[in-house]
Structure 1
Amino acid sequence: MHPIQLPLELILRIIPFLDDPPNVPKKEWEHIPLLANSKIRRRSGPPSLSSCSLVCHAWNDICRAYIFRAIYIDCNEDTTFEAFAFLHSTAPHLCKYVRELRLRFCIDVVWVPAWMDACLSRFTNLRELELRYFSEMGPTVTTPLVQGIVSLLATISLKRLALLFWDKFVNASDMSRILFACSATLEEFMIDCLLWEPSRRIMPFVPPVAHLKALRRLELDESITPFAHTNTIECPDLATFTISHYQDHPWELPPWIPASISDLNLRVSVRSGPLQFERLVYPSRLTIQLISLDGDITWLEGNINRLPFHHRLRELTIKIVSYGQNLSSFPESTCYETLCRLLLPHQYPGLLKRIIFNIRIWEHPDIDIAELDSIRMRETVRLEEAFSPLSAVGPFSALVLVHLGPGEHKPNVVMQCIV
């Protein structure tokens, strides 16, 4: 009796389900080397996916597209040649499966092999590219690397680009070439520039303006950078803009932000300087994330009433991130009441207001279920009492989330209260 053979069409449906099962959070990057003692690794996946790849050649070919979809290479003096040589000579067939490539560079990388262009050109289905610490290397390395990257980008449809820890003074022309190469297809762009003191540093190279007609989402990790103060790009159809500012200098939005942007996200701390509006924008959704170690909301008190576009907003979300040592680290009632007073005057028709408190507990205390229920009931009552004036006059919600552990990546939520 011959074994029953599942139709290939069914396998094509099963494999994606195993790779991304519903209601199961994806894991972060893990050290799963593609070869022994290497810094080239792939994103961890469910064990069942790897098992399926061993069934037969047909299943293996289907699984490869998911197993090798995201690749991370830690590039230093000892590993750069080995990692890329593996992809160039030993397993060039894997490059076509890679859709997300993350490269972390190191200052001790002083040369690149002559065949780097040929190796990079094999990533024909690449959609996401991340370059980290690229600026720390010298021009003998960055020049040929940029040439290879630009040649690749000219032949693919890159959708997301992340430039992390980037010194635009050193690599302004490199950034310009990379942006121009993917300007027609880039939809998401994240740049984390090094800090800038305008009075001390002058741009040695003023790049031409890159017209990013497909760009919809942009995240700028620090506002005090030349990228935020020069007309480096044009993005007329940008929909979502996120900017961080943790310095005490006054700051403003970049000049290239379109006035008609839909979503504006501001990330600040209690020590951030005031936000100034030299030009007006009219977002329909505004999110302010405030890092407050002790419940201090002074920045909100000094800035929220100065926003010039309250009447255009449809959604206003305030996220307050605080840290504590134990389960008693909740905001004071005065914090709730102050926020209520701040938001109460802004009662525009249809404006939805949300306040989210993210409380991260540094230590992992022994948690008693009965104690958690008692705390949850207590905090829910406090929220209802403090924000009852807001709830009575318009759409409003307040949420308190308590996480265990200081990590930023998917902390364990142990309690939530909502009104």
Structure 2
Amino acid sequence: MSCTKLEYLAIQPRHELLAVELIAAIIDIVADGYRDSLATQREPLIFSTLAAASLVSRTWNTICSAYIFRTIKITAPGDPGAQLSFLHFEAPHLSGHIHKLKLKWDGRCTNDDWLSDCFRQMKNLRELRLHGAETINEPYVAPVGMKPMLAAPYLRRLVLCGWYFAEDGSDLVGMLPDTVEELVLKRLGPPPQARSPHAFPNNTVAPDSNANTPSSTGRRLENLRSMELIYIFLPLLNLKTFIECPNLRRFSVGWSELESRWDLPQWIPASLWELSLETNLYSHIPHFGASIQPSDVKIGIWGHEGPPPPYGAFLPRIRACIDRLPSPHLIQALTIDISNYENDSRNRLYPKLSDYEALSQYLQQLRSCKGGKLKAIFLNIKMELQGDEDSIDDKPASVREWLPDDESTEEGTPAEDGGLTEYGSSDDDFSTGNDGSSDDEGVWGEKEPPDDNELHVDEARETAKLEKGFPELLKDNMLNVEFTLERLSIWSGGGGHKGFCTVTKRNLLQLHSFPDSVVIRALDTWR
């Protein structure tokens, strides 16, 4: 008995479609890999999975797009106007998916009226990173076309890196959005005409004659909660009036001996909760006034390449930072980061028992002083071992596959069609540096690195020194210690380029104090 096509289809079993809620849950599980500790390594795989899933149907495409375009990076060698124009005119529906956006360009950017409209329609944009020069060897760039990019209506975090502004910061302050809650300024310098012949850095890109640089000082930013200044070659810290930030809670500053001397500026409010200082053994130590009373203090001191200084040299710098606070007895949580460098020698890797005892004695004084409120101490010691310089061709195949290709860039390879470069929703590249990695750190591979047994932590010996050096602090459950060894192998590629091999072995000794016990864990991890 024959039947028509419609009758045939009618008698076939029907396949139930997945509920939209179930589809969304599945995709969320896939995208959840962006949020774990291995997000950087897994990012390409997660992104390709989401891209494939978006092709299943319109429903899947709609759900996946929210994850695929959550974070966008545009690293144009010239004017990023072409990529932004595509986003604004050809794909405006994607703007609502963007939560984080990173732009890197060389100072040539369109200043057309549509650029402001492009960013105004990014209703969910919360974090914006604008990079001119990303390293000290790149020329600082004029902020041409930057102000229209700050038109996003709900921007919360702003990172500016590698630009030059007026010495009084007036053009910078004039373009800051009122909504910003976290401001990160990194490697900013004065215009070329205001820079002395011996200023650092000594290279720059000339400003565009049509650059719009509004003037404003002492502007009030009510929403600003966190501010971070890293290698600022502008006298912002010496200005009596820069901005008003009455609700600032966290202030972080990193400096070296190359910047001018500074003291804590008057525009930092007394209500500051957290203070983070990062410098080297040779920089001056500023005065912090008489009003701030931070309860959470972080001090990071690093040594230098070559013969490492003894660990005992770090203690006077740590003491100087703490003792210059107006009320050091009010510190409740203290973090001490010590970074040292060694050229492959093993005899100076570890602190001596006397180094631990001297630091413990000072911390005990800080703890037992009148009105002392110290409750938690975090001591992080990192030693970077620098290996010999090798050619890429001289390295074994297991290592060469981990090294970047000559044509690759730090941010990955841009899309061949010159369009948007999507990297999914990984948060790693948008960190403030608190995780120990640099904002400029790249992604080099997913394969398991070759075995390296050269580095190890003598757990029993180091644990015994720590327990003997900090007996009271461990007994009272106040001290957490982490010791990290990292080996950095130098590679040299075509054209004389040099860099560090990314197959870095890290052996991490962690000592955590708990009531009536000490727990030791030795971990082998890869960066």
Superposition TM-score tier, normalisation by shorter sequence: 0.7 to 0.9
Q: Quick check: 1:100–1:129 contact (8 Å CA) kept in 2?
A: yes
Cα 1:409–1:176 change in 2 (3 A) is farther
Cα 1:3–1:322 change in 2 (3 A) is farther
* Residue aligning to 2:351: 331
Whether 1:291 aligns to 2:305 is: no
Q: Quick check: 1:168–1:226 contact (8 Å CA) kept in 2?
A: no
**Code of the aligned partner of 1:340:** S
- Tell me the CA shift for residue 95 of structure 1: 2.2
In the aligned structure 2, how far is the partner of 1:408 from the partner of 1:219? 29
The alignment partner of 1:251 has SS state of coil
* Residue aligning to 2:466: 383
* Residue aligning to 2:119: 120
In the aligned structure 2, how far is the partner of 1:87 from the partner of 1:59? 21
The alignment partner of 2:106 has SS state of coil
Deviations 1:85-112 (A, max 9, x none): 33234333322211111111214x2755
Q: Quick check: 2:171–2:216 contact (8 Å CA) kept in 1?
A: no
Matched ranges for 1:31-180 at <5 A: 45-77=46-78, 80-107=80-107, 109=108, 111-112=110-111, 115-133=114-132, 136=140, 142=144, 145-146=145-146, 148-150=148-150, 152-153=151-152, 156-169=153-166, 172-179=169-176
Q: Quick check: 1:224–1:251 contact (8 Å CA) kept in 2?
A: no
Cα 1:250–1:148 change in 2 (3 A) is closer
* Residue aligning to 2:440: none
Q: Quick check: 1:196–1:226 contact (8 Å CA) kept in 2?
A: no
Cα 1:171–1:315 change in 2 (3 A) is closer
Whether 1:360 aligns to 2:359 is: no
Q: Quick check: 2:273–2:294 contact (8 Å CA) kept in 1?
A: yes
In the aligned structure 2, how far is the partner of 1:410 from the partner of 1:396? 31
- Tell me the CA shift for residue 272 of structure 1: 1.3
Whether 1:7 aligns to 2:19 is: yes
Whether 1:341 aligns to 2:341 is: no
In the aligned structure 2, how far is the partner of 1:75 from the partner of 1:391? 52
**Code of the aligned partner of 1:245:** W
In the aligned structure 1, how far is the partner of 2:24 from the partner of 2:471? 52
The alignment partner of 1:342 has SS state of helix
Larger radius of gyration: 2
CA RMSD of aligned residues (A): 3.5
Deviations 1:237-266 (A, max 9, x none): 212111112126543222221112111111
* Residue aligning to 1:40: none
Cα 1:206–1:112 change in 2 (3 A) is closer
* Residue aligning to 2:182: 188
Whether 1:395 aligns to 2:392 is: no
Q: Quick check: 2:173–2:243 contact (8 Å CA) kept in 1?
A: no
**Code of the aligned partner of 1:27:** T
Q: Quick check: 1:110–1:138 contact (8 Å CA) kept in 2?
A: no
Q: Quick check: 2:96–2:122 contact (8 Å CA) kept in 1?
A: yes
Q: Which range moves more in the overlay, 239-248 or 328-337?
A: 328-337
- Tell me the CA shift for residue 408 of structure 1: 12
How many residues end up aligned between the 2 structures?
390
* Residue aligning to 1:39: none
* Residue aligning to 2:330: 312
Alignment equivalent of 1:241, drawn from 239, 242, 251: 251
The alignment partner of 1:168 has SS state of coil
The alignment partner of 2:484 has SS state of strand
* Residue aligning to 2:199: none
Cα 1:398–1:190 change in 2 (3 A) is same
In the aligned structure 2, how far is the partner of 1:400 from the partner of 1:125? 40
Alignment equivalent of 2:222, drawn from 213, 217, 223: 213
Cα 1:276–1:236 change in 2 (3 A) is same
Cα 1:46–1:362 change in 2 (3 A) is farther
Cα 1:277–1:388 change in 2 (3 A) is same
In the aligned structure 2, how far is the partner of 1:288 from the partner of 1:403? 21
Q: Give identity over the alignment, percent.
A: 27
In the aligned structure 2, how far is the partner of 1:255 from the partner of 1:45? 47
The alignment partner of 2:271 has SS state of coil
Q: Quick check: 2:334–2:374 contact (8 Å CA) kept in 1?
A: no
| Structure 2 segments unaligned to the other structure (5+ residues) | 1-12, 134-138, 197-212, 388-398, 400-449, 490-499, 513-527
* Residue aligning to 2:280: 269
Deviations 1:14-45 (A, max 9, x none): 32332123644321898x8xxxxxxxxxxx84
In the aligned structure 2, how far is the partner of 1:325 from the partner of 1:376? 22
Cα 1:262–1:170 change in 2 (3 A) is closer
- Tell me the CA shift for residue 392 of structure 1: 4.8
In the aligned structure 2, how far is the partner of 1:208 from the partner of 1:167? 17
In the aligned structure 2, how far is the partner of 1:206 from the partner of 1:148? 16
The alignment partner of 2:365 has SS state of coil
The alignment partner of 2:39 has SS state of coil
Cα 1:168–1:229 change in 2 (3 A) is farther
Cα 1:83–1:277 change in 2 (3 A) is same
- Tell me the CA shift for residue 236 of structure 1: 1.4
In the aligned structure 2, how far is the partner of 1:84 from the partner of 1:171? 31
In the aligned structure 1, how far is the partner of 2:351 from the partner of 2:189? 32
- Tell me the CA shift for residue 136 of structure 1: 4.9
**Code of the aligned partner of 2:330:** R
In the aligned structure 2, how far is the partner of 1:250 from the partner of 1:91? 49
